[in-house]
Amino acid sequence: MVVVLKNEATTQQINNLISWFEEQKVAVHISKGEYQTLLGLVGNTTNIDTDLIEGLEIVECVKRISDPFKNANRKFHPDDTVVDCSGVKIGGGEFAIIAGPCSVESEAQLLEIATKVNASGATLLRGGAFKPRTSPYDFQGLKAEGLELLLEAKEKTGMPIVTEIMNANHLPLFENVDVIQVGARNMQNFELLKELGKTDKPILLKRGLANTLKELLMSAEYIMAGGNEKIILCERGIRTFETYTRNTLDLSAVPMLKELTHLPIVIDPSHACGVAKLVKPMAMAAAAAGADGLMIEVHNDPPRALCDGPQSLTPEQFDDVAKRVFAIREAVKSLD
Amino acid sequence: MVVVLKNEATTQQINNLISWFEEQKVAVHISKGEYQTLLGLVGNTTNIDTDLIEGLEIVECVKRISDPFKNANRKFHPDDTVVDCSGVKIGGGEFAIIAGPCSVESEAQLLEIATKVNASGATLLRGGAFKPRTSPYDFQGLKAEGLELLLEAKEKTGMPIVTEIMNANHLPLFENVDVIQVGARNMQNFELLKELGKTDKPILLKRGLANTLKELLMSAEYIMAGGNEKIILCERGIRTFETYTRNTLDLSAVPMLKELTHLPIVIDPSHACGVAKLVKPMAMAAAAAGADGLMIEVHNDPPRALCDGPQSLTPEQFDDVAKRVFAIREAVKSLD
Amino acid sequence: MVVVLKNEATTQQINNLISWFEEQKVAVHISKGEYQTLLGLVGNTTNIDTDLIEGLEIVECVKRISDPFKNANRKFHPDDTVVDCSGVKIGGGEFAIIAGPCSVESEAQLLEIATKVNASGATLLRGGAFKPRTSPYDFQGLKAEGLELLLEAKEKTGMPIVTEIMNANHLPLFENVDVIQVGARNMQNFELLKELGKTDKPILLKRGLANTLKELLMSAEYIMAGGNEKIILCERGIRTFETYTRNTLDLSAVPMLKELTHLPIVIDPSHACGVAKLVKPMAMAAAAAGADGLMIEVHNDPPRALCDGPQSLTPEQFDDVAKRVFAIREAVKSLD
Amino acid sequence: MVVVLKNEATTQQINNLISWFEEQKVAVHISKGEYQTLLGLVGNTTNIDTDLIEGLEIVECVKRISDPFKNANRKFHPDDTVVDCSGVKIGGGEFAIIAGPCSVESEAQLLEIATKVNASGATLLRGGAFKPRTSPYDFQGLKAEGLELLLEAKEKTGMPIVTEIMNANHLPLFENVDVIQVGARNMQNFELLKELGKTDKPILLKRGLANTLKELLMSAEYIMAGGNEKIILCERGIRTFETYTRNTLDLSAVPMLKELTHLPIVIDPSHACGVAKLVKPMAMAAAAAGADGLMIEVHNDPPRALCDGPQSLTPEQFDDVAKRVFAIREAVKSLD
């Protein structure tokens, strides 16, 4: 951490500040410049509150040099983490496609979709039972009943299931869920993250709509600090000024996160784009960029099929996407 | 709601879609243009899922015309709501300043600050007991013990208290809290909002860092849909590309929200700016723009005073700010 | 265009407005709803100023339905445009890599880089002579002398050249330049765009840092309205809150623009990411997403090589990237 | 400037880098930490290219400590600059309101508006002759003819005029213009800024839609580096995710810029909000926040008055706004 002092700081004030840092058990290197004096803090600075220091009258600014995340940091854990989702592995070269409907609607719906996406290469089944909706008047999901349907589909198809949690009080209902998803709007619901840190379930943690990668990693750190290291990061589009697409898929998050962390990274092109036609090219691009997995919405809902074209992919479209994704992975691998 | 159809939509497809809308009990007006056909939906369209319709193959886009929020909407409730916070009123011409430390630290600290800010004109005492922190390694607040200290300060000074909740399971601890705050990161924690809708406490709802005013109103709607209409909206800065200030205070939210809703609006210049020097001018500007109240961080913490200038205002600085704010309110009133 | 009227609009006011629209030669369809009255404007509405209408007291809002760009619109020009850059084609299945140094520094530098990138598969040579810099104190490029060096390199290697223009007054200097680049900060320099519309040179138009795809297309429209239809669009990263990467590469711009326009789209991963390590995965992803070309910074500058690793790719790294990009294109093609 | 090195940097590489810095005439202080080595550069670092250094393989990151702007910097020029606009002063306690129509339309229009706003307290007349428009099909202004009309209005009313330039080639036409405006989209048109630096006219420089205050100051620096120090900064709203307002007025720019620079700051609430009703409260707020002036759109155009309510203020509404603004300034002054 580097603390830049203002020119008008008196020696007395500087000495007071240095003493205070030393009490916090960090060593201080002073670098007096013609225009500016810098204090370089060396040692364990993770517990020093940057905002507090920046608020001091004699401080111009504070630059944190080392990353504030530890457990998630590749520097201290160079090997890729491989998350085992009830037998399906993600990370460290293991690639998986998670597919299924946005909302669980019925047993027949789930089974049909599950069987088809599995045949096309998906190995994890997703489906929403508890749905976060911006409006209190929108459909909130089948809730506990939806979870039941997912568990039945799991039993019948053998596919491990991924579904979203919105409230730590619901954890007992998730006992047989294989991967628990934390949605974008709950990425900084720290109370929920702490509770998930006490479980031993794989957690699929989605990046918030306007959150940085550092904030995503700090949220992973909340879960890991509780002892649960089975985290799959998920980029699902961020808010930008663009309006043709619902969000902007930040694909560079894949190689950037691979530098920063050992945790696996999965891409959700369906939510990012909000347009079925973009799912195929972006899924292919994600594979080329080195993602550890994909999460894709697939639907066969007749009311939606009304006009022959729901936003989610049909199982047939998904099959085409999956083929191309696997082909690109082969092409990439053959060059390594 | 206006649905714009693609040129290639067949009559059969269009008729199917119209029948489906009519089943949802909305009337459909067709407007055939040279280039485009529009469907105007009239009636109660709040239950129609825009995303679902937009995803249909024959649909170019969907424009929602009427606001999706009802209880919070000024159109259906033209008079200002006045929220009574244990005797201190906010809204409808009633103005209040909420002041206090960011974190509750000790009884002595709270009492000293409370007494001083009260003497300067603040009528509600704020203080954080449960603190949302981006890092799991940062100080998380005194929690239940902090709440105890706040309740003691309330008893001794008579000031109603405002403090943040992070988990609906903590509600029993908030029984004697006067105003419950929902922080920016929990603005879309819908499970928490639903629980607060079942209480009869005033709720101070902070706008999320990258949320629109419509989303803020939809979150208020979540609480109101549960039956609790005592909501105070709070603008505390939004995320922009600017880096000199921590966030960007969106002061135009004040007059804009006054158009859209009958709920009172309070401005928090301390969190928005992150720089003590900006609190004074922005508090004055908020008063001039017509805010119903202010929320200001005031601190007397000796360790922070180390270099004579914490980020929060000192009680003396707060006194100066309050004087100016009241003077501007007088100047504005004298012209009406 | 749909105009939504306020409830309080009187019949007299509405009739006035309708007459005014009819004077502008657009037909008006009225749709009276329970809550709202809509006017659907049909005909050529491109000349109607949305802002003006939206400012009228009786107007709630205006929704433009048809795209405001015409020449660039795929609806009116379904076939892909292929831009011929002095023999090198881009668009309609023709793919090209533009490579070269950020700034032109010397004849030797340019020749060495040009020869090497050409051998690796690049077919257009880029190099900056006039450099837009945020600070007036930063190096502004070799200017006219840099252009001379580029033209010499073109003569010796046979590679057509791409270089940025910053001032329409410099156009005479660009007489032998093959492709003129408009930088992100000049995307809305409308005076420059108009002048380029009068030339018959291919224009590589970069998206502005905070501009939408619609704005990019409107800027293309400025050039096309002048008669020059040889436009290559370029996505080079947009400004977001992310700080690990310099900008955020919006790869979904590729398939989205392909829907909206017939113009070719090229991706510049070097500027978007600002980190050499990310160029390879993002170039591969761009190829998988269907981009018509890539623009990549390659450098061999000894002073930069000081520490064995400039930000730009070395010719050797570029060779590796190009191989993978071509392999991915093959894999994608083999599935079509 | 602080350069943070990677752990894997070898002594040889570090020594090479230090030698290179010393050749650039900056002193280097080394600070070896347990985890990280820092180089503190002291001296004139404005000419060192941060991006170049950050791209080096052994460099983790570079933090520029001192501001990159000099002429605009309050540190080196503590007193407020007062810009004299043909007799009307702005800055250093001198406050002025610039008012007038968005576009110049006719002599009668201009004269009527000018006379009225002048009577209400405006001392500078604004009007657009050259209009930057996103679409090539929108009205581009009366151009040279509009300038003529402005000059006539100036002669008849005695009010100095402010109008926008879009092309340095038009400078001869601006010979008798009192204040030249640079629009938001041209804030980083560096070629235009350089030409304006050679004039001795006051320049009203608008902040770009997605630009930071530092970038605004760097653009001011471009003009000042050429010798023209008569710059008035103008905040006119920035792009955010909010959609109810056209842009988000960043009022905290006023006190923040006052810390950073000695140049005067003017607020344009009309463009920022895009809604006439918000102009009044935001103009009042700007006065309370300490702005040195306001720029307000006033219109009397009959075609727009069609429905009794254009977006711009009417002269009568402007009179009310001006009264309140002056009253707030009085209230603020009386407390100092």
Residues B118 and B20 in one domain: no
In a domain, B69, yes or no: no
Give me the pLDDT at residue B302, please: 45
Q: Is the pLDDT of residue A308 over 60?
A: no
Q: Which residues on chain A place their C-beta less than 8 Å from a C-beta of chain D? A: 2, 4, 7, 29, 31, 33-36, 38, 40, 42-43, 60-61, 63, 65-66, 210, 239, 241
Of A7, A43, A61, the CB nearest to D34: A43
Q: Tell me how many residue pairs between chain A and chain D have CB atoms under 8 A apart.
A: 50
Distance from CA of B68 to the nearest CA of A (A): 8
In a domain, C68, yes or no: no
Q: Is the pLDDT of residue C287 over 90?
A: yes
Give me the pLDDT at residue C309, please: 41
Distance from CA of B279 to the nearest CA of D (A): 9
Residues C30 and C52 in one domain: yes
In a domain, A68, yes or no: no
Q: Is the pLDDT of residue A302 over 50?
A: no
Residues B238 and B271 in one domain: yes
> CB-based contacts of C65: which residues, under 8 Å, 6+ apart?
B4, B36, B38, B60, B61, C1, C2
Q: Answer with the residue of higher pLDDT: A138 or A89.
A: A89
Distance from CA of A178 to the nearest CA of B (A): 23
Residues C165 and C201 in one domain: yes
For residues C285-310, average pLDDT: 77
Interface mutation target, options C65, C67, C252, C268, chain A, most CBs of A under 10 Å: C252
Q: Is the pLDDT of residue B50 over 60?
A: yes
Distance from CA of C172 to the nearest CA of B (A): 38
Q: Helix, strand or coil for residue A168?
A: helix
Of B2, B36, B210, the CB nearest to C38: B2
Give me the pLDDT at residue D35, please: 57
Give me the pLDDT at residue A100, please: 94
Give me the pLDDT at residue C304, please: 54
In a domain, A101, yes or no: yes
> CB-based contacts of A100: which residues, under 8 Å, 6+ apart?
A110, A113, A114, A117, A122, A125, A126, A127, A162, A297, A298
Q: CB–CB of D281 and B243 under 8 A?
A: no
Residues B275 and B188 in one domain: yes
Residue that is written with structure tokens 């933090």 in the block: D63
Judging contacts by C-beta atoms under 8 Å, the chain A residues touching residue B17 are 306-307
Q: CB–CB of C243 and A214 under 8 A?
A: yes
DSSP letter at A253 equals H
Residues A160 and A259 in one domain: yes
Q: What distance in Å separates the CA atoms of residue D274 and residue C224, rounded to the nearest whole number?
A: 30
Q: CB–CB of B40 and C31 under 8 A?
A: yes
Residues D59 and D138 in one domain: no
Judging contacts by C-beta atoms under 8 Å, the chain B residues touching residue A136 are 190, 194, 218, 221-222, 225
Q: What distance in Å separates the CA atoms of residue D235 and residue A218, rounded to the nearest whole number?
A: 34
Of A194, A303, A307, the CB nearest to B13: A307
Distance from CA of C334 to the nearest CA of D (A): 37
Q: Is the pLDDT of residue D305 over 50?
A: no
Q: CB–CB of C252 and A278 under 8 A?
A: yes
Distance from CA of B269 to the nearest CA of D (A): 10
Two tokens, residue D122: 């405006």
* ipTM of the complex model: 0.89
> Which amino acid is it at D228?
N
Q: Is the pLDDT of residue D180 over 60?
A: yes
Of B244, B282, B335, the CB nearest to D324: B335
Q: Answer with the residue of higher pLDDT: A335 or B259.
A: B259
Residue A227's CB is within 10 A of a number of other CB atoms, namely: 11
Q: CB–CB of B252 and D278 under 8 A?
A: yes
Q: Is the pLDDT of residue D306 over 50?
A: no
As a whole-number percent, the residues of chain D with pLDDT over 90 amount to 63
Q: What is the dihedral of CA B192, B196, B197, B200, to 10 degrees?
A: 180
Chains sharing 3 or more CB pairs under 8 A with chain B? A, C, D
Q: CB–CB of B288 and D284 under 8 A?
A: yes
In a domain, D69, yes or no: no
Q: What distance in Å separates the CA atoms of residue B21 and residue C35, rounded to the nearest whole number?
A: 17
Give me the pLDDT at residue D299, please: 86
Select from D110, D213, D119, D214 the least CA-distant residue to D162.
D110
pLDDT tens sequence across B7-25: 788 888 888 889 888 888 8
Q: Is the pLDDT of residue D171 over 90?
A: yes
pLDDT tens sequence across A136-152: 887 788 899 999 999 99
For residues A49-75, average pLDDT: 81
Give me the pLDDT at residue C301, please: 67
Please name every residue paired with C91 in a beta bridge, in sequence order, or none if there are none: C94
Nearest chain D Cα to A40, which residue?
D31
Q: Are strands B88-90 and B96-100 parallel, antiparallel or unpaired?
A: unpaired
CA distances from B302 to B109, B299, B305, B311 (A): 10, 9, 5, 13
Could you tell me if A217 and A69 are in contact, meaning their C-beta atoms sit under 8 angstroms apart? Answer: yes
Q: Which of C35, C63, C91 is the last residue of a domain?
A: C63
Q: Is the pLDDT of residue D112 over 80?
A: yes
pLDDT tens sequence across D68-104: 888 999 988 999 999 999 999 999 999 999 999 988 9
Residues C135 and C261 in one domain: yes
Residues B84 and B29 in one domain: no
Q: Is the pLDDT of residue A201 over 80?
A: yes
Range of the domain at A275: 74-335
Judging contacts by C-beta atoms under 8 Å, the chain C residues touching residue A331 are 327-328, 330-331
Q: Is the pLDDT of residue C168 over 90?
A: yes
For residues D255-264, average pLDDT: 97
pLDDT tens sequence across B60-98: 778 776 778 889 999 889 999 999 999 999 999 999 999
Query: Which CATH number belongs to the domain containing residue B42 in this structure?
Result: 3.30.70.1140
Give me the pLDDT at residue D16, please: 87
In a domain, C256, yes or no: yes
CA distances from C37 to B2, C4, C7, C64 (A): 11, 6, 7, 16
Q: CB–CB of B65 and C61 under 8 A?
A: yes
Q: Answer with the residue of higher pLDDT: D328 or C60.
A: D328
Give C9-18 contacts, CB < 8 A, sequence gap 24+.
Answer: C9/C37, C9/C58, C9/D307, C10/C58, C13/C58, C13/D307, C13/D308, C14/C58, C16/D306, C16/D307, C17/C56, C17/C58, C17/C59, C17/D306, C17/D307
pLDDT tens sequence across D117-152: 999 999 999 999 998 888 888 778 889 999 999 999
Nearest chain B Cα to A308, which residue?
B57
A162-166, B330-334, D128-132: which is most confident: A162-166
Give me the pLDDT at residue A253, please: 97
Give me the pLDDT at residue A130, please: 93
Q: Which of A63, A83, A116 is the last residue of a domain?
A: A63
Chains sharing 3 or more CB pairs under 8 A with chain A? B, C, D
pLDDT tens sequence across A225-255: 999 999 999 999 999 999 888 899 999 999 9
Residues D195 and D298 in one domain: yes
Interface mutation target, options D56, D190, D275, chain C, most CBs of C under 10 Å: D190
Residues B33 and B132 in one domain: no
Could you tell me if B158 and B168 are in contact, meaning their C-beta atoms sit under 8 angstroms apart? Answer: no
Give me the pLDDT at residue C307, please: 41
Calculate the average pLDDT of chain A. 90
Q: Answer with the residue of higher pLDDT: C10 or C254.
A: C254
Give me the pLDDT at residue B305, please: 43
Q: Is the pLDDT of residue A175 over 90?
A: yes
Give me the pLDDT at residue C30, please: 81
Give A79-83 contacts, CB < 8 A, sequence gap 24+.
Answer: A79/A262, A80/A262, A80/A264, A81/A229, A81/A231, A81/A262, A81/A263, A81/A264, A82/A264, A83/A202, A83/A230, A83/A231, A83/A232, A83/A263, A83/A264
Of B167, B210, B218, the CB nearest to A134: B218
Nearest chain A Cα to B167, which residue?
A191
Q: Is the pLDDT of residue C50 over 60?
A: yes
Q: Is the pLDDT of residue A309 over 60?
A: no
Residues B328 and B284 in one domain: yes
Distance from CA of C283 to the nearest CA of A (A): 8
Give me the pLDDT at residue B156, please: 95
Segment (H or E) for C299: none
Give me the pLDDT at residue C34, please: 58
Give me the pLDDT at residue A24, please: 83
Q: Is the pLDDT of residue B26 over 70?
A: yes
Could you tell me if A258 and A290 are in contact, meaning their C-beta atoms sit under 8 angstroms apart? Answer: yes
Interface mutation target, options A307, A308, A311, A313, chain B, most CBs of B under 10 Å: A307
pTM of the predicted protein model = 0.90
Q: Which of A38, A63, A88 is the last residue of a domain?
A: A63
In a domain, C69, yes or no: no
Q: Is the pLDDT of residue C92 over 90?
A: yes
Of B275, B281, B287, the CB nearest to D290: B281
Give me the pLDDT at residue A301, please: 66
> Which amino acid is it at D114?
A
Q: Is the pLDDT of residue A307 over 50?
A: no
Of A214, A260, A335, the CB nearest to C327: A335
- Which of A126-140, A227-241, B186-200, C221-235 is predicted least confidently? A126-140
Query: Which CATH number belongs to the domain containing residue A91 in this structure?
Result: 3.20.20.70
In a domain, D311, yes or no: yes
Distance from CA of B68 to the nearest CA of D (A): 14
Q: How many helices (H) and strands (E) does chain C have?
A: 11, 14
> CB-based contacts of A108: which residues, under 8 Å, 6+ apart?
none
Select from D34, D35, D37 the least CA-distant residue to D3.
D37
For residues B255-266, average pLDDT: 97
pLDDT tens sequence across B271-310: 888 778 899 999 999 999 999 999 999 988 644 544 434 5
As a whole-number percent, the residues of chain B with pLDDT over 90 amount to 63
Calculate the average pLDDT of chain B. 90
Question: How many domains are contained in chain B?
Answer: 2
DSSP codes, C44-103: --TTS-HHHHHTSTTEEEEE--S-S-STTBGGG--SPP-EEETTEEEBTTB-EEEEE-SB
Judging contacts by C-beta atoms under 8 Å, the chain D residues touching residue C57 are 307-310
Band of pLDDT at residue A311, cut at 50, 70 and 90: low
For residues A32-44, average pLDDT: 73
Please name every residue paired with A164 in a beta bridge, in sequence order, or none if there are none: A181
> Which amino acid is it at B254?
V
Q: CB–CB of B330 and D328 under 8 A?
A: no
Judging contacts by C-beta atoms under 8 Å, the chain A residues touching residue C248 are 238, 240, 248, 250, 252
Could you tell me if B317 and B305 are in contact, meaning their C-beta atoms sit under 8 angstroms apart? Answer: no
As a whole-number percent, the residues of chain A with pLDDT over 70 amount to 95
Q: Answer with the residue of higher pLDDT: A105 or B249.
A: B249
